[in-house]
């Protein structure tokens, strides 16, 4: 008898491996109970898997994230996880509702195959299959189209439909983008509705633009609103509640503390690149002639922290400016350099008399010199430079050309940002009266605190002493706390319960509009 039992064990294991005593898979059990149809208890996972692979191959070419979707279903042996979990409770219908109403975000519902998903749900709900294998292609297609639409919809709202770093050459803000781990977690979600609600943009700016978009009738206005809704969908670095923003189209610097404005002022930003820039760059690449090189002084978009202030700054003149401007001015006027307090260096050694340089000996594209403008009233950076880490040698600074702030279009600089009220800005940064009065003294301004008058007078006396040489040098000051700075580009936003619009000074709206073409209504 014992021997007979031992003979049965391998037989039972073989039968189990073949699936004879296997329970119906989750999808078969769910549909069988819901429709009270025993047919689904015969759901064959092997046969379904074959259909699923075929459907995956036919659809995945049009998916945005095919590798992630394939990896997810590979981990779950091709099981229709979304249909199993969210068909019966109506969550797939709710997803269809969100997709159909994606128009409130400016999306085209066709992006998500909305009608096809709806049709597949209706076909499954009709329960008219005569054999269980007739349901396999419907379930497989519904599963995969749902997965793709669900990921795309959530990603577009959480991160935006385009990556700005891919379309703008001077966009250096590291915006967060979807990653495979996050998307796998989305597909494994236990509550589809909670996720769909959670991804709706919470920003007050976004909601104000969205409301204006839904109320707008003119196509131009709707276009601008859509573009800036997209900008507010981008996952920007965390600035915290206290930060400085420079908005290029507004030509404005604003220091925010929560929702309040600490200080606001006009700025001048980099000039727009030359018309036909791309074509001219191609011509320059071929010729190598500097005369063919088009100008591009656009201020880059970036995120950093203001970490120091320099009073009486020295200007290290960039090579591009030396070639395009300084070289010609020095050739035209031999005293231009000394009159402008510009020092010339050859192999890092100061040239004592730059006025004697024979510029005809040097071509401007191979200048062996470096140029630095010393501290003082004529310095192009004015009396203050505000420094933050970035790869473009960009900073905020004062200017001795105050007339620029009276212009409507203030895109006139070489790329750095000139600020209208540098002293007030410096006061906010240093954050205490003692440091602020020391900073004021460096630029010959009397202290605010009367107890600091003594050392101010001492400094002024030293400067006035003709028996000793007084050389104006840069002085460094640290802010009380490094302040986040974002240089951004927004052409429409909400302010005081109305939408403000600004011109597309760099043509970035046009470029973004083209990139969004397939996503928009």
DSSP H or E segment with residue 264:
strand 260-270
Q: Which of 268, 297, 416, 452 is catalytic?
A: 416
The burial class, CB within 10 Å (0-12 / 13-18 / 19+), for 483 is: buried
Closest C-alpha to 231, from 271, 173, 180: 173
CB burial readout 266-286, b (16+ within 10 A) else e: bbbbbbbbeeebeebbeeeee
Separate counts of helices (H) and strands (E) for the chain: 21, 16
416 is catalytic: yes
DSSP H or E segment with residue 14:
helix 2-17
CA 34 to chain centre: 46
Please check whether residue 504 is in contact with residue 490, taking contact to mean a CB–CB distance below 8 angstroms. no
Instruction: Please identify which residue in the block is written with the tokens 């101010």.
Output: 456
Q: Which of 18, 397, 414, 452 is catalytic?
A: 397
Euclidean distance between CA atoms 370 and 316, whole angstroms: 8
Euclidean distance between CA atoms 266 and 284, whole angstroms: 35
Euclidean distance between CA atoms 246 and 177, whole angstroms: 23
Residue 385 tokens, joined: 């430079």
Euclidean distance between CA atoms 321 and 462, whole angstroms: 36
Please check whether residue 105 is in contact with residue 210, taking contact to mean a CB–CB distance below 8 angstroms. yes
Catalytic residues: 397, 416
């Amino acid at each position: 008898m014992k021997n007979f039992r031992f003979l049965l064990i391998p037989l039972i294991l073989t039968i189990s491996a073949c699936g004879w005593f296997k329970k119906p898979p989750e999808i078969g059990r769910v549909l069988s109970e819901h429709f009270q149809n025993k047919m689904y208890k015969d759901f064959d996972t092997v046969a379904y898997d074959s259909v699923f692979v075929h459907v995956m191959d036919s659809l995945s070419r049009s998916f945005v994230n095919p590798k992630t979707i394939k990896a997810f279903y590979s981990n779950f042996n091709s099981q229709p996880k979304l249909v199993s979990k969210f068909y019966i409770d109506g969550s797939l219908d709710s997803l269809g509702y969100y997709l159909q109403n994606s128009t409130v975000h400016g999306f085209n519902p066709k992006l998500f195959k909305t009608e096809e998903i709806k049709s597949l749900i209706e076909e499954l709900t009709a329960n008219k299959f005569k054999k269980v294998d007739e349901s396999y292609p419907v379930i497989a297609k519904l599963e995969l189209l749902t997965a793709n639409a669900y990921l795309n919809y959530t990603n577009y709202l959480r991160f935006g439909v385009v990556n700005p770093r891919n379309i703008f050459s001077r966009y250096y803000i590291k915006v967060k983008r979807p990653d495979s781990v996050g998307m796998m977690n989305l597909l494994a979600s236990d509550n589809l509705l909670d996720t769909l609600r959670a991804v709706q943009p919470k920003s007050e700016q976004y909601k104000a633009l969205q409301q204006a978009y839904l109320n707008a009738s003119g196509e131009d206005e709707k276009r601008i609103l859509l573009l800036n809704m997209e900008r507010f969908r981008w996952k920007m670095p965390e600035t915290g509640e206290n930060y400085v923003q420079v908005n290029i189209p507004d030509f404005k610097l604003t220091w925010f503390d929560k929702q309040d404005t600490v200080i606001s002022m006009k700025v001048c930003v980099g000039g727009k690149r030359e018309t036909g820039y791309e074509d001219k760059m191609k011509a320059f690449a071929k010729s190598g002639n500097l005369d063919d090189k088009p100008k591009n002084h656009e201020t880059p978009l970036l995120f950093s922290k203001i970490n120091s202030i320099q009073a009486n700054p020295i200007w290290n003149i960039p090579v591009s400016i030396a070639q395009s401007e300084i070289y010609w001015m020095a050739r035209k006027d031999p005293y231009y350099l000394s009159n402008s307090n510009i020092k010339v260096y050859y192999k890092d050694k100061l040239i004592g008399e730059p006025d004697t340089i024979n510029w005809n000996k040097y071509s401007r594209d191979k200048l062996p010199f470096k140029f630095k403008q010393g501290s003082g009233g004529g310095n192009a950076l004015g009396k203050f430079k505000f420094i933050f880490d970035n790869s473009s040698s960009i900073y905020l600074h004062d200017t001795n050309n105050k007339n620029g702030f009276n212009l409507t279009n203030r895109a006139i600089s070489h790329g750095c940002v000139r600020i209208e009220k540098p002293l007030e800005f410096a006061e906010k940064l240093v954050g205490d009266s003692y440091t602020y009065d020391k900073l004021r003294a460096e630029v010959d301004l009397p202290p605010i605190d009367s107890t600091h008058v003594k050392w101010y007078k001492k400094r002024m006396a030293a400067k006035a002493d003709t028996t000793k040489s007084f050389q104006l040098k840069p002085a460094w000051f640290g802010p009380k706390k490094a302040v986040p700075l974002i240089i951004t580009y927004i052409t429409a936003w909400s302010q005081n319960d109305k939408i403000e619009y600004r011109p597309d000074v760099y043509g970035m709206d046009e470029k973004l509009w083209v990139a969004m073409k397939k996503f928009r209504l």
